[in-house]
Amino acid sequence: MKESWRWYGPFDRITLSDVAQTGATGIVHALHEIPYGEVWTEEAILARRDEIADAGLGLDWVVVESLPIHEDIKRGEGNLERLFANYRQSMKNLASAGIRTICYNFMPLLDWTRTQLDAPVKRGGTALRFSQPHMAAFEIHMLERDGAEADYSEEVRAAAKDWFDASSEGLRQQLLNSIMSGLPGAFDRYDINGLREALKRYDGIGRDEIRANYARFLAEIIPAAEELGMRFCVHPDDPPRDILGLPRIVSCEDDIAWIMAEQDSIANGLTLCSGSLGANPKNDVPAIAKRFASRIHFAHLRNVAKEKDGSFQEAAHLDGDTDMVALAAALVAEERRRKQEGREDWEIPFRPDHGHELLSDIDSGTHPGYPLIGRLRGLAELRGVICALTHQDVSYA
C-alpha cells in the first residue's frame, strides 16, 4: 500500500520536508484557495504538482482530496450546467497533469463534524471528539432548530440542557467554532444566524431529493471519469448520521451499495474511511472493505471509540472499535489480487487519518485532527501491520 499524507499546501504549518521525514511518499492535496464551483486551471495544478515534485524529497501528488462539490449541486438548485462543465474541466486538467484519483464527499452543508477539538487522552495529549449531548445542546438551545428535540433521546436532551445551563458564552462560542472546523479550505464559516439562513436553503429537501441530486452528479461526472481514466472515490459521511436535520446518504453498507450500482463502473469507487464508517455501530468495517474491495481506490485509516449515547472519540490507530489488522488484511488481499491481474494501478494509497495531538503537536497551530507527531505515530503503527501482512514468504522457523 502506498503511504500517503494529507498536506494543505500554503495553509499548512507542516512542511514538505516534515512530510518526507515521516516516510510517506504520496501527497494527498487540494487547491483549497480556489472557490467551490470554479475551474482548477491547468496552470494552477501544474504549479502545485511541480512544487511538490521539485522539492527533491521523493514526493508526488497522488490523490486529490477533494475536488469540492458546490452546494447548488447538492440541493439541485438552479441551472447546474456551468457547475458540471467546470467540474469536468477541472477533472480534465488534473488528468493531463497525471493526477487521476479524486476523493470527494456529498455531505450537505457541513463536512466532518466534531464538538471538541482538544478532548484529553488518558496518557496525555488531546483528540477530536463528538459529544452527542453537546451536539444536542447546540441544535436545541443555541441554533434552536425546529424538530431538533426529536433527533435525540430523553437522556441526551437532559444532559444537553444541563451543559447549556452551566456553559458560559465563551464555551458556547468554542462549541460553534469546533463544529465549523470541519470545513478545511472552505470559504463559508457560519455564525448562528448565518447557519440558520444556510439551513433554510435546504427546506423541503429530504433523503430522496439528496439521493436524486447525487445520482445526477454521478451521471454527469462518471462517464467523463471513465474517458479520462480517472478513479472517483466517495468519502463516507462523518459522522455517519443526519446532522442539523440534513440527510446523510453515505453512512452504511446499503448506502455504498446504492452508490456503486447507480453508476456500475470502476471509475465510481469508494474512499474506505475506517473512522467515519466505524462511528456507526451497525457497520462492520472489515466486512464492508471485503464486499467493495474492487471499488476501493483510496483509504483513510483511523479508529474511534464509541459510547452508548452516540458519542465517540478518536482513538489511537490500533485501538478503538475497528479491527484495524483485519481491515488492513482485506486491503492487502485486494492489492495482491489486482497485482496478479497485471493492473498498473494495483497499489492502494492510504493515509493515517486524524491523529492525537502529542508532545510538540500541542499548540502548534496545525489543522484540527492533522498534527505531525500524532499522525506519524499512526503511520508507524499502520506500517508495521502492513509490513507483517505482506511478508507472506518469511520463514519463522
Q: Please state, in angstroms and rounded to a whole number, the distance separating the CA atoms of residues 355 and 382.
A: 12
Based on the residue annotation, tell me whether 317 is a catalytic residue of this protein: no
Helix, strand, coil shares, percent, the chain, to 5: 45, 15, 40
Rg, the chain, Cα only: 21
Based on the residue annotation, tell me whether 103 is a catalytic residue of this protein: no
Query: Exactly one of 70, 134, 235, 317 is catalytic; which is it?
Result: 235
Based on the residue annotation, tell me whether 134 is a catalytic residue of this protein: no
Q: Could you tell me if 187 and 38 are in contact, meaning their C-beta atoms sit under 8 angstroms apart?
A: no
Query: Exactly one of 134, 273, 356, 361 is catalytic; which is it?
Result: 273
Q: Please state, in angstroms and rounded to a whole number, the distance separating the CA atoms of residues 328 and 382.
A: 8
- 335-270-253-355 Cα dihedral, nearest 10 degrees: 90
Q: Is 205 helix (H, G, I), strand (E, B) or coil?
A: coil
Query: Exactly one of 238, 354, 356, 361 is catalytic; which is it?
Result: 354
Sheet with 116-120, edge to edge strand ranges = 116-120, 126-130, 312-315, 303-306
Query: Exactly one of 70, 300, 317, 356 is catalytic; which is it?
Result: 300
Q: 76: buried, middle or exposed (CB in 10 Å: 19+, 13-18, 0-12)?
A: middle
- Helix H, strand E, coil C: the string for 100-160 is CEEEECCCCCCCCCCCEEEEECCCCCEEEEECHHHHHHHHHHHCCCCCHHHHCCHHHHHHH
How many residues are recorded in the chain?
397
Based on the residue annotation, tell me whether 273 is a catalytic residue of this protein: yes
Query: Exactly one of 12, 111, 151, 353 is catalytic; which is it?
Result: 353
The distance of Cα 256 from the centroid of its chain, to the nearest Å, equals: 15
Q: 144: buried, middle or exposed (CB in 10 Å: 19+, 13-18, 0-12)?
A: exposed
Q: Please state, in angstroms and rounded to a whole number, the distance separating the CA atoms of residues 280 and 252.
A: 8
Residues known to be catalytic: 235, 273, 300, 353-354, 370
